[in-house]
Structure formats: structure tokens, C-alpha cells
Amino acid sequence: MVFRRRSQKYSYELLKLDEVEKSVEEIAKSVSSPLLSNKVFLRNSLSNQEPNITIVAKKKKELIGVVNGIVIKNQPINPQIAFIWTKYREASMEGVPQMLLQKFEEEAKKRNPQASSITVNIQTSDLNSITLYTMSNFFIEGFIKGFSRDPDVVIMRRGLNKPSSTPIA
């Protein structure tokens, strides 16, 4: 997968509460995933109520991408990404998912400076997502074997860059 140089034409911000419903509709209509087409799940996830974080990418005022996850403030529990979504392939090729991950990491560090890493669970059949996270310096930490109709899942983790506690002279 080849990415073009990152474009400056996108803005990144926390999702505003009054934009949740519009975002739910936009995501649900554009995906085939049972989870992301579930409007109740999306509404609850995108609410930006603690401990959820939702960061959006916009081009002008149009929603282009979303990253959502959970960060529990000041607890020794690492942040967990729930999902990442982009509306257009072009935005993906321009690095929007990587920038969303970077912005999620920045917000996670603010909310939980004790966190040492970020994790994400991905179905083993979702090779595009596994590739995205691998290219974003996540590594495979383990697997969860699905039972009955549940899919197998790969657990991926990326360490959070922390400033050194000892200044370099």
C-alpha cells in the first residue's frame, strides 16, 4: 500500500455533541460492517462522554474520517481503539487514518498520562485494518480464538512515546 504525502486540507477535532447524530447517519449508511451500521452502538460510542474519545477529520465542513476509543482518566488501564473509519479512499491514501491515530494518541496522553500503550482488537479477516495498524507501528500482541460464530481476533498494541523523566544534558 502506497500513501501519498499527507495533505494539509483536513482539520482534526473532538466530535461535538451536536454533530453526533449526523455522524452516526453518515457512518452507518456508508459501511457494510454489522457493528458500524448499528446506529445504537455508534450513538453510544460517539457520544464523547467519559471514557469515550471521538476525533473527526473534516474537509471544509464535511466529515471525512473518525477514530473512536476509550480512555479511562488517570487509571493504569491502557487506551483501547474501538474503530477507525474514512469516507473516501482518497482520504485514506492521503494519510487521514494515520493522522486520526496520532490525534487519538495525543488526546489519550492528555487524559491518561499513566498509559503505556494503545491497543486495538481486529478481526483476523480484516487485512486492510491489520495493514493500517502495522504501518502505524502497532505490533501483534496475541490472538483470541472465536467461538461458534464469533470471528478470530488479533490483538495489536503500540507503545506511547513518553518524554524521558531525566533531562539530557
Task: Tell me the domain boundaries of the chain.
Answer: 11-115
For the cut 70, the answer to whether the pLDDT of residue 119 exceeds it is yes
Cβ burial of 18 (10 Å; 0-12, 13-18, 19+) is exposed
Mean pLDDT value across the chain: 86
**Among the ranges given (17-26, 35-44, 89-98), the one the predictor scored with the smallest mean pLDDT:** 35-44
**11-115 under CATH 3.40.630.30, yes or no:** yes
pTM for the model stands at: 0.84
Preceding omega of 51 cis (within 30 degrees of 0): yes
Q: CA-to-CA distance for 19 and 1, rounded, in angstroms? A: 32
Q: In the structure grid, which three cell numbers stand for residue 23, read together?
A: 455522524
Full DSSP string of 74-103: TSS---EEEEEEES-HHHHHTTHHHHHHHH
Find out whether 158 and 139 touch, Cβ atoms under 8 Å. yes
> Rounded to an integer, what distance in angstroms lies between the CA atom of residue 15 and that of residue 53?
8
The full length of the chain comes to 169
**pLDDT (mean) for 115-136:** 93
pLDDT band at 8 (very low <50, low <70, confident <90, very high): low
Using 50, 70 and 90 to split pLDDT, how confident is the model at 48?
A: low
Per-residue pLDDT tens digits for 150-163? 789 999 999 987 55
